Amino acid sequence: MKRIITLIAAVAALCSCGTANLASHAPAQVAIVAHRGFWNCEQAGYAQNSVASLKAAQDAGFWGSEFDVQLTKDGVVVSNHDKEYGPEKMVIADYTYEELAKYPLPNGEKLPTLDDYLAQGALSDKTVLVLEFKKQRTDEATIELVDKSMEIVKAHGLYDPSRIVFISFSKVACERVIAEHPQFEIQYLTGDLTSNGLKNKGYTGADYNAMIYTVEPALIANLHAKGLKANVWTVDKPEKMQTLFQNGIDQITTNNPLAARELLGDREYRK
């Protein structure tokens, strides 16, 4: 509910700003990002944020594979979307990795560390890793998450803007990337910044909820006018995908990447 209210407020703010002319700006190609990996298939065992879901995205040739990272109590960076993990809903920040790893993913994998995930990511340069920093309990912990993640990225030879991009709802995380790693793509997720605000703060693009682009379709043109990319989450219905494609979205994050591929045809961007 809190996120919905935030998005509604963001839409209101964005609609109050001046807009560029909404011309037909369907780009030649659109990049598909598999949300939490290409998990919704037999190959991945239907396990989100699993190493298998990343491999499935790589094997399918999708441009990007999104995943989330958080810190355990003992400072291990793990790949998981929710703050809680396992059948007992263990809060990740309150347990050590050893305690959490007792519970496997739905496909039988252990809870992946970022090391585990990037070991697979390094095996293919055709699928970009889209790493989301989850907001931690404190700003200090969020910065620690960013810093530790970057060291692991470097250790796997992936400290390369062509191999990995970053996204977050946390301004603290985004601003850490902008300040310390300005060569990398960083997209903001929350939706409360205009194209001017994003540009002025050093972001390279917006990765906003589909509702924002639906209410304010000129936002895509505004972002492009500022030299920013327009990504969208999380769109699974083909009819909504088609509208966004027509309005000029650059990237689409989806749990249904095969449907996006079918709609795009030769307009799908691949590395």
What stretch of H or E contains 79?
A: strand 77-79
pLDDT the model gives residue 14: 54
231 in a structural domain: yes
The reply to whether 242 falls in a domain is yes
Determine phi and psi for 42, rounding to 5 degrees. Answer: -65, -35
The whole model's pTM is what?
Answer: 0.92
Domain count, the chain: 1
What is the distance between the alpha carbons of residues 15 and 32, in angstroms, rounded to a whole number?
27
How many C-beta neighbours within 10 Å does residue 19 have?
16
Residue 25 maps to a domain: no
Q: What is the pLDDT of residues 161-172, one digit of tens each?
A: 999 999 999 999
Q: Please determine, for residue 5, whether its predicted confidence score (pLDDT) is greater than 50.
A: no
Q: Say if 182 falls within a structural domain.
A: yes
Q: Band of the pLDDT at 3, cuts 50, 70, 90?
A: low
Q: Is the residue at 166 inside a domain?
A: yes
Q: How far is CA 243 from the centre of its chain?
A: 21
In a domain, 180, yes or no: yes
- Let me know if residue 114 belongs to a domain: yes
Q: Which two tokens stand for residue 194?
A: 């205009």
pLDDT of residue 28: 76
Residue numbers of the domain that contains 260 = 2-15+30-269
Residues 97 and 111 sit within 8 Å (Cβ to Cβ):
yes
Average pLDDT value over all residues in the chain? 93
Residue 211 domain flag: yes
The CATH number covering residue 57 comes to 3.20.20.190
Report percent pLDDT > 90 for the chain. Answer: 89
- What confidence tens digit (pLDDT) does each residue in 6-61 have? 554 554 455 444 444 433 445 579 999 999 999 999 999 999 999 999 999 999 99
